[in-house]
């Protein structure tokens, strides 16, 4: 008998021990209280509270605003993924480096100043960006460079994480064979309060997080159905 | 950056001070619980650190739950989710294994700490991994993985800021969320300057500025992430239906550990599984708000597989080690089973008046505070860890704070009773289940003196003539009773027996003894 079988056997033996009456609550999410009209304000407020900077922009001015930010922050080496949206933005901004092949760690850690990521959704109640990494959106893009820039369409801001996991879009992505191998919620720049409860930013990941909230873009993904 | 004045002591003196702290810690850990608690109570700096941190975290949590009704609804939901997991644990674990395997994550099972270490070492060896970076994992502390791997020539570096500092100091965490809670920034400044080295082998410049301290640690650790052969992390929740490992963190070291090295090994207890993603958001919100008073942490990392063909980064292999180490034994105990509902937020320790005073190291175990008092004796045995059960005033604050409603005071009482219960051969029929599932070391704290006192007490209350004799002796001989009773009377006055017993006073008032006078009255 393997360790696995012995552990499972012991658990099966003990399943009758003080079995709790199954509560319907286990299947019923606690509903948030946010109205659609509040999403944008809440989202911006929560992200700002967590020391991210939210920059509202129109789709037409996105490239100009990104270019301006890179200039202001003196960012020379900026990485971007390979999705259609990334290609389009890279063409308009110019001077960006496509993350289209594996990079040496030394280059990734020491030479890249910023990474531009695309969020699939935003969550208003917590000010979270939902990133699905994959072939066109590498995992390290939003992690290793000291500055992280994230593009999000305003129409993709949802109420909260509960609404997201109940959406058809989420359930489809997790039921297919090709599941997103690394889904992320990002809610600010990396931080720590491990020294005497004093908050410090830039613990291991990005020291700064800029979010471009695009007001009039068409949703890049299918609208999720409200629960 | 503002220059903070440095209390000028020489580098050698500073190093000596750091060595002294290490020595004191090692010395303390060699002692028994009572001695450790006493040493902590006498250390003013330590008490200030713990009290400050506890108050800070209690305040932050309180601010996150302004609405009692909402908090109550969330706690009910959290409890229901965790109970649902326990009701279906063997099935959920098998489903988790099937789905993880389908996603390309390799699953291993370990019955004991030793087996988990052995498994992890084997995976590292198979991949020629010599250097490991670790994300915060209390389970890896529980199995003492660093020690095991270092003995076998594998460098194991903690990357969570708190854990990194604790490892540098050669100590152990004193809290499960804020591992270096026991150190103030002056101590940390001395520690970094004396022991940390930049990648070019230089000592880190002395600074008491928190941003600088973190900045220095950041650059040292980023160099390690860049070159490490493997990353080892914990897991906060494992989703059975999708085969997903979820990690909660603020620093980004968890993502670094699970993303940058070619090999990622996660290790977690078998109780951390949840059935479905729909149960994750509410547990997450309970966890972060209870632990650090945050609406959400910076990162919530959901891993459903290694790097796929065409991906530019991510680990080539992901392994999960599922650890039992006594958990299936807890699962079989009628009263103690809710121990496994725990989501490791640490709210119980933040709210515990005893923890706030004696601190995490006094417990001498990986998990301190109320949840530690419940988990540790069940994993390591009452013989070795039973003493910590006395460090509780049963005030109930931990149970009130617990986001998944674990009845911690009840569990502590149950363990106290297990500790002094006669051995398994003397069990009565109504506790027949426990015949097979006693807590390890059941009855090991039983003493002849204490059990005789209780037996006498019980007898005196069952025999009326004995009871009358006892009250007569106590009232008439009250002048002869001792004026002091060990440590109890050091800060309290000794209770005095009355001149006459209640029975006598009532009889004098003409109340008849109903028992003797029969039903005719």
The closest of B93, B91, B146 to B117, measured between CA atoms, is: B146
What are the backbone angles phi and psi of residue A202, rounded to the nearest 5°?
A: 80, 55
Cα–Cα distance for residue pair B131/B155, rounded to 1 Å: 5
Give A-chain residues touching B180 at CB under 8 angstroms.
Answer: 194-195
Cα–Cα distance for residue pair B410/B406, rounded to 1 Å: 9
Over residues B43-65, the mean pLDDT reads 93
Residue A209 or residue B490, greater confidence:
A209
The closest of B123, B117, B121, B90 to B105, measured between CA atoms, is: B123
Element containing residue B426 per DSSP (H, E): none
In this prediction, residue A226 carries a pLDDT of 44
What are the tens digits of pLDDT across the range B162-193? Answer: 999 999 999 999 999 989 999 999 999 999 99
Q: What is the DSSP string of A98-159?
A: E--SPPPHHHHHHT--EEEEE-SEEETTTTEEEEEESSSS-GGGGTSSSEEEEEEEGGGEES
In this prediction, residue A27 carries a pLDDT of 84
In this prediction, residue B514 carries a pLDDT of 62
Cα–Cα distance for residue pair B359/B161, rounded to 1 Å: 19
User: For the ranges A192-196, B5-9, B13-17, B205-209, which has the lowest average pLDDT?
Assistant: B5-9
Residue length, chain A?
227
In chain A, what's the furthest Cα-to-Cα distance?
65
Do B96 and B304 form a contact (C-beta atoms < 8 A)?
no
Cα–Cα distance for residue pair B518/A23, rounded to 1 Å: 51
Binned at pLDDT 50, 70 and 90, residue B307 comes out as very high
E strands, B375-454, in order:
none
Q: Contact A195/B210, CB-based, under 8 Å?
A: yes
Question: Would you call B185 an interface residue with chain A, using a CB distance cutoff of 8 Å?
Answer: yes
Over residues B496-514, the mean pLDDT reads 84
Q: Contact B282/A18, CB-based, under 8 Å?
A: no
Element containing residue B237 per DSSP (H, E): strand B237-239
Q: What is the DSSP string of B265-302?
A: EEEEEGGGEES-GGGHHHHHHHHHHHHHS-SS-SEEEE
Binned at pLDDT 50, 70 and 90, residue B10 comes out as confident
The closest of B335, B329, B364 to B141, measured between CA atoms, is: B364
Do B222 and B259 form a contact (C-beta atoms < 8 A)?
no
Helices and strands (H and E) in chain B: how many: 25, 10
Element containing residue B23 per DSSP (H, E): helix B11-29
Cα distance from B335 to chain A (closest Cα, Å)?
A: 7
Do B443 and B421 form a contact (C-beta atoms < 8 A)?
yes
Chosen from B214, B282, B315, B431 to mutate, greatest number of chain A CBs within 10 A: B214
Report the percent of chain B where pLDDT is more than 70.
94
In this prediction, residue B436 carries a pLDDT of 52
- Contacts of residue B93, defined as CB under 8 A and 6 or more positions apart, other chains included, come to A8, A11, B240, B270, B273, B322
User: For the ranges A51-60, A218-227, B26-35, B302-311, which has the lowest average pLDDT?
Assistant: A218-227
Binned at pLDDT 50, 70 and 90, residue B92 comes out as very high
What is the pTM for the complete model shown? 0.92
Coil, helix or strand at residue B217: helix
Binned at pLDDT 50, 70 and 90, residue A17 comes out as low
Question: Would you call B21 an interface residue with chain A, using a CB distance cutoff of 8 Å?
Answer: no
The closest of B46, B257, B313, B447 to A136, measured between CA atoms, is: B313
Binned at pLDDT 50, 70 and 90, residue A225 comes out as very low
Question: Would you call A208 an interface residue with chain B, using a CB distance cutoff of 8 Å?
Answer: no
Domains of chain B in sequence order: 11-30+65-325 (3.40.50.10420), 447-477 (no CATH)
Cα–Cα distance for residue pair B147/A7, rounded to 1 Å: 25
The closest of A144, A76, A135 to A101, measured between CA atoms, is: A135
What are the tens digits of pLDDT across the range B207-257? Answer: 999 999 999 999 999 999 999 999 999 999 999 999 999 999 999 999 999
In this prediction, residue A212 carries a pLDDT of 98
Element containing residue B221 per DSSP (H, E): helix B210-227
What are the tens digits of pLDDT across the range A28-51? Answer: 888 888 899 999 999 999 999 999
In chain B, what is the straight-line distance between the N-terminal and C-terminal CA atoms, in Å? 90
User: What's the ipTM?
Assistant: 0.94
What are the backbone angles phi and psi of residue B296, rounded to the nearest 5°?
A: -160, 155
Q: Angle at Cα A81 formed by Cα A80 and Cα A87, nearest 5°?
A: 85
Binned at pLDDT 50, 70 and 90, residue A20 comes out as confident
For the beta sheet containing A147-153, the strands, ordered from the edge strand earlier in sequence to the opposite edge, are A53-57, A208-214, A147-153, A114-118, A78-80, A97-98
Coil, helix or strand at residue A54: strand
Residue B7 has pLDDT above 60, yes or no: no
Q: Contact A29/B77, CB-based, under 8 Å?
A: yes
In this prediction, residue B312 carries a pLDDT of 95
What are the tens digits of pLDDT across the range A73-124? Answer: 999 999 999 999 999 999 999 999 999 999 999 999 999 999 999 999 999 9
Do B28 and B39 form a contact (C-beta atoms < 8 A)?
yes
**Cα→Cα distances B220→A158, B18, B217, B424, Å:** 39, 20, 5, 54
What are the tens digits of pLDDT across the range B471-485? Answer: 999 999 998 888 888
Cα–Cα distance for residue pair B387/B34, rounded to 1 Å: 8
Alpha helices in B65-184 (DSSP H): 68-87, 89-102, 113-126, 138-142, 145-151, 161-168
- For residue B88, the 8-state DSSP code is T
Report the percent of chain A where pLDDT is more than 70.
94
Q: Contact B159/A28, CB-based, under 8 Å?
A: no
In chain A, what is the straight-line distance between the N-terminal and C-terminal CA atoms, in Å? 46
Residue with tokens 């005033």: B393
What are the tens digits of pLDDT across the range A122-142? Answer: 999 999 999 999 999 999 999
Question: Would you call A184 an interface residue with chain B, using a CB distance cutoff of 8 Å?
Answer: yes
In this prediction, residue A140 carries a pLDDT of 97
Structure tokens at B94: 């098998």
Binned at pLDDT 50, 70 and 90, residue B513 comes out as low
* Chain B (306-335) residues lying within 8 Å, Cβ to Cβ, of chain A: 306-308, 310-314, 322, 324, 328-329, 331-335
Structure tokens at B201: 């082998």
Task: Compute and round to an integer the Cα radius of gyration of chain A.
Answer: 21
Residue B57 has pLDDT above 90, yes or no: yes
Structure tokens at B179: 């591992």
Structure tokens at A171: 């359930």
Cα–Cα distance for residue pair B309/A6, rounded to 1 Å: 36
Binned at pLDDT 50, 70 and 90, residue B434 comes out as very low
Residue B276 has pLDDT above 80, yes or no: yes
Question: Would you call A118 an interface residue with chain B, using a CB distance cutoff of 8 Å?
Answer: no
Cα–Cα distance for residue pair A170/B6, rounded to 1 Å: 54
What are the tens digits of pLDDT across the range B19-42? Answer: 999 999 999 999 999 999 999 999
Do B250 and B298 form a contact (C-beta atoms < 8 A)?
yes
What are the backbone angles phi and psi of residue B206, rounded to the nearest 5°?
A: -70, 130
Binned at pLDDT 50, 70 and 90, residue B518 comes out as very low
Cα–Cα distance for residue pair B196/B203, rounded to 1 Å: 6
What are the tens digits of pLDDT across the range B126-155? Answer: 999 999 999 989 999 999 999 999 999 999
Binned at pLDDT 50, 70 and 90, residue B1 comes out as very low
* Chain A (35-74) residues lying within 8 Å, Cβ to Cβ, of chain B: 46, 50
Residue B2 has pLDDT above 50, yes or no: no
Binned at pLDDT 50, 70 and 90, residue B311 comes out as very high
Residue B518 region, left (φ>0) first, then alpha (ψ -120 to 50), else beta? left
Q: Give Cα B496 to chain centroid, integer Å.
A: 41
Q: Contact B250/A3, CB-based, under 8 Å?
A: no
Helix B464-476 × helix B448-462 angle, to 10°: 110
Over residues A210-226, the mean pLDDT reads 69
Do A129 and A186 form a contact (C-beta atoms < 8 A)?
yes
**Cα→Cα distances B174→A90, B45, B70, B358, Å:** 48, 14, 31, 11
In this prediction, residue B431 carries a pLDDT of 43
Cα–Cα distance for residue pair B415/B313, rounded to 1 Å: 48
Burial class (CB in 10 A: 0-12, 13-18, 19+), B51: middle
Q: Contact B74/A30, CB-based, under 8 Å?
A: yes
Residue B129 or residue B507, greater confidence:
B129
Binned at pLDDT 50, 70 and 90, residue B356 comes out as very high
């Amino acid at each position: 008998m393997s360790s696995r079988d012995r552990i499972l056997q012991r658990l099966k033996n003990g399943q009758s021990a003080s079995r709790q009456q199954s509560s319907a609550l286990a299947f019923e999410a606690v509903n948030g209280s946010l109205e659609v009209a509040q999403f944008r304000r809440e989202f911006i407020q929560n992200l700002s509270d967590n020391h991210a900077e939210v920059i509202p922009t129109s789709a037409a001015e996105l490239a100009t605003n990104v270019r301006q930010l890179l200039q202001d922050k003196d960012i020379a080496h900026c990485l971007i993924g390979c999705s259609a949206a990334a290609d389009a933005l890279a063409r308009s901004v110019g001077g960006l480096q496509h993350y289209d092949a594996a990079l040496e760690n030394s280059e990734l850690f020491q030479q890249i100043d910023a990474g531009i990521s695309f969020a699939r959704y935003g969550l208003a109640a917590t000010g979270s960006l939902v990133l699905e990494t994959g072939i066109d959106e590498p995992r390290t893009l939003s992690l290793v460079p000291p500055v992280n820039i994230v593009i999000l369409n305003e129409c993709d801001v949802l109420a909260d994480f509960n609404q997201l996991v109940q959406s058809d879009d989420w359930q489809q992505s997790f039921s297919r064979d090709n599941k997103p191998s690394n889904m992320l919620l990002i809610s600010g720049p990396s931080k720590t309060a491990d020294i005497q409860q004093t908050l410090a930013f830039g613990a291991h990941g990005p020291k700064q997080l800029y979010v471009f909230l695009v007001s009039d873009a068409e949703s890049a993904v299918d609208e999720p159905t409200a629960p | 950056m503002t220059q903070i004045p440095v209390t000028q002591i020489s580098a050698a003196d500073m190093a000596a001070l750091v060595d002294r702290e290490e020595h004191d810690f090692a010395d303390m850990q060699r002692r028994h619980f009572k001695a450790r608690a006493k040493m902590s109570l006498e250390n003013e700096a330590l008490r200030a650190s713990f009290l400050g941190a506890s108050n800070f975290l209690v305040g932050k949590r309180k601010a996150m739950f302004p609405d009692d009704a909402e908090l109550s609804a969330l706690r009910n939901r959290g409890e229901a989710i965790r109970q649902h997991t326990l009701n279906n644990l063997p099935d959920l674990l098998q489903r988790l294994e099937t789905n993880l395997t389908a996603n390309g994550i390799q699953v291993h099972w370990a019955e004991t700490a030793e087996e988990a270490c052995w498994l992890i070492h084997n995976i590292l060896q198979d991949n020629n991994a010599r250097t490991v970076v670790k994300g915060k994992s209390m389970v890896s502390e529980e199995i003492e993985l660093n020690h095991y791997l270092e003995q076998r020539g594998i460098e194991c570096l903690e990357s969570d800021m708190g854990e990194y500092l604790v490892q540098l100091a050669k100590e152990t965490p004193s809290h499960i969320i804020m591992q270096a809670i026991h150190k103030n920034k002056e101590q940390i400044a001395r520690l970094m300057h004396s022991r940390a080295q930049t990648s070019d082998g230089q000592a880190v410049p002395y600074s008491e500025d928190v941003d600088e301290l973190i900045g220095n640690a950041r650059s040292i650790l980023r160099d390690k992430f860049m070159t490490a052969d493997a990353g080892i992390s914990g897991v906060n929740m494992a989703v059975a239906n999708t085969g997903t490992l979820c990690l909660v963190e603020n620093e980004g070291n968890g993502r670094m550990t699970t993303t940058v090295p070619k090999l990622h090994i996660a290790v977690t207890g078998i109780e951390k599984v949840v059935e479905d993603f729909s149960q994750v958001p509410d547990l997450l919100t309970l966890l972060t708000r209870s632990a650090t008073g945050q609406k959400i942490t910076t990162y919530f990392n959901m891993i459903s597989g290694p790097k796929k063909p065409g991906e530019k980064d991510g680990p080539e292999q992901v392994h999960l080690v599922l650890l039992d180490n006594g958990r299936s034994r807890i699962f079989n105990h009628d009263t103690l089973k809710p121990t496994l509902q725990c989501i490791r937020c640490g709210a119980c320790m933040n709210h515990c008046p005893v923890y706030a005073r004696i601190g995490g190291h006094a417990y001498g175990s990986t998990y301190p505070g109320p949840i530690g008092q419940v988990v540790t004796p069940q994993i390591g045995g009452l013989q070795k860890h039973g003493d910590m059960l006395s460090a509780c005033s049963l005030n109930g604050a931990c149970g009130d704070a617990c986001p998944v409603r674990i009845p911690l005071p009840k569990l502590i009482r149950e363990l106290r009773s297990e500790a002094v219960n006669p051995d398994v051969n003397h069990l009565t029929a109504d506790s027949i289940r426990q015949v097979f599932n006693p807590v390890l070391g059941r009855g090991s704290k039983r003493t002849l003196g204490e059990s005789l006192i209780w037996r006498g007490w019980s007898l005196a209350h069952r025999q009326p003539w004995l009871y009358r004799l006892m009250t007569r002796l106590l009232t008439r001989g009250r002048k002869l009773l001792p004026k002091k009773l060990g440590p109890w009377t050091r800060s309290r006055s000794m209770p005095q027996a009355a001149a006459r017993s209640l029975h006598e006073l009532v009889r004098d008032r003409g109340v008849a003894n109903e028992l003797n006078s029969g039903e005719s009255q």
